[in-house]
């Protein structure tokens, strides 16, 4: 069986004059968590919906499980699970009824007990959907998407709008899917989510895929230096100069030391702590997907998903 579960080649989608997806190519391997990351309007949902056979491409082609998204829609649809953006379902039905409805449609009895337990829905399964918290509703979405026993799951911005705690809980749920061998394709505008969850990621902006690689390689290639930032301390500069490659003073008077690796930074961090006896705020900042996005896309994405240059 092919290792590549999704193969996309020069894919394009136009809506009238708007080119939503502009000649993108990438692959997703079986068993991995792949993230498509970009701001609002970048073309994420359009790409996902083409792979789910809900929209037709204008150009190029895409294959899922080796089947063509235009000509072999049925083969693909019966093997995938989908949680759309802003997921919603029958509000008056209970969690149990909603999930059972989907497994009936797919004609799969499935291990529903396990499904509820896995998704942390045990206590909630007899409540109606409209009584649940935002985080719980998304878990129901995942349980429903899994009810047809899919090999590949699409999650379109699964944690948008959730508070940090609910977001972390949902991450645990998504990690559990990878352990079960389900391939996950997710879209997001949260860099932390990419770093926490994904094996590989593609950065999309204005319909173009700017970079695609493993998260580790993206960070190694585009991540910034390891930094130590000390606030309001004149003494820090002298100490940092003994260890850092470069020491600068930031706009707010903070002293910044840049290091080639985490080892040197950790040593300096320890000395700062000892010599300043914990009197100042010292932050150790590693390279991250935030730097990667900034360097690749020339901006950052704010909490609402907008690109800020
Ligand atoms: P968001 O997170 O805001 O949904 P996205 O990255 O998923 O963003 P898309 O929804 O794929 O992006 O939208 C890409 C571009 O295509 C945007 O400019 C959008 O306005 C446009 N677009 C999307 N759907 C349609 C449509 N049905 N008709 C016309 N234009 C559309």
Q: Do 61 and 193 have their domain in common? A: yes
Q: Looking at residue 260, what is its pLDDT?
A: 87
Domain boundaries, position 44 = 4-221
* Residues 6+ positions from 181 with CB-CB distance below 8 Å: 31
Residue 301 domain flag: no
**pTM for the whole structure:** 0.89
Q: Looking at residue 118, what is its pLDDT?
A: 57
Ligand 1 atom index nearest CA of 45? 7
- Which mutation among 39, 42, 190 tests ligand 1's pocket best, with the greatest number of atoms within 8 A of CB? 42
Q: Is the CB of 38 under 6 A from ligand 1?
A: yes
Ligand 1 atom index nearest CA of 47? 11
Q: Do 201 and 250 have their domain in common? A: no
Q: Looking at residue 2, what is its pLDDT?
A: 60
Q: Do 137 and 193 have their domain in common? A: yes
Residue 305 domain flag: no
Residue nearest to atom 24 of ligand 1 (CA): 46
Encode pLDDT of 28-67 as tens digits: 999 999 999 999 999 999 999 999 999 999 999 999 999 9
Q: Looking at residue 216, what is its pLDDT?
A: 95
Give the separation between CA 108 and CA 103, rounded to whole angstroms: 5
Residue 293 domain flag: no
Q: Looking at residue 120, what is its pLDDT?
A: 67
Size of the chain in residues: 309
Residue 108 domain flag: yes
Residues of the chain predicted below pLDDT 70: 1-2, 108-120
Q: Looking at residue 46, what is its pLDDT?
A: 98
Q: Looking at residue 110, what is its pLDDT?
A: 58
Q: Looking at residue 114, what is its pLDDT?
A: 59
- Alpha helix segments (H runs only) across the chain: 44-51, 73-77, 95-106, 112-118, 134-146, 164-179, 191-197, 215-222, 235-241, 262-275, 289-297
């Amino acid at each position: 069986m092919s290792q590549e579960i999704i193969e996309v080649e020069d894919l394009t989608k136009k809506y009238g004059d708007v080119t939503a997806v502009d000649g993108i190519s990438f692959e997703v391997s079986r068993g991995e968590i792949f993230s498509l990351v970009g701001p609002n309007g970048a073309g994420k949902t359009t790409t996902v919906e083409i792979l789910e056979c809900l929209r037709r491409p204008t150009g190029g082609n895409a294959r899922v499980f080796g089947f063509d998204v235009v000509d072999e829609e049925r083969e693909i649809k019966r093997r995938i699970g989908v949680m759309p953006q802003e997921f919603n379902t029958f509000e008056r039905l209970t969690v149990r009824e909603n999930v059972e409805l989907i497994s009936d449609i797919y004609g799969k009895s499935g291990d529903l007990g396990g499904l509820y337990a896995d998704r942390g829905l045990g206590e909630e399964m007899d409540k109606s959907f409209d009584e649940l918290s935002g985080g719980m509703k998304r878990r129901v979405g995942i349980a429903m998407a899994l009810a047809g026993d899919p090999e590949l799951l699409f999650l379109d911005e699964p944690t948008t709008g959730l508070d940090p705690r609910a977001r972390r809980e949902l991450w645990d749920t998504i990690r559990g899917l990878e352990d079960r061998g389900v391939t996950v394709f997710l879209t997001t505008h949260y860099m932390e989510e990419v770093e926490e969850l994904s094996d590989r990621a593609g950065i999309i902006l204005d319909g173009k895929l700017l970079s695609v690689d493993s998260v580790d390689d993206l960070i190694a290639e585009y991540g910034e230096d390891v930094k130590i930032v000390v606030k309001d301390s004149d003494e820090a500069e002298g100490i940092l100069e003994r260890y850092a490659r470069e020491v600068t003073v930031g706009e707010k008077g903070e002293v910044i030391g840049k290091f080639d690796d985490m080892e040197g930074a950790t040593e300096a961090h320890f000395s700062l702590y000892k010599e300043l006896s914990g009197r100042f705020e010292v932050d150790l900042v590693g390279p991250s997907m935030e730097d990667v996005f900034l360097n690749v896309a020339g901006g950052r994405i704010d909490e609402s998903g907008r690109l800020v240059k």
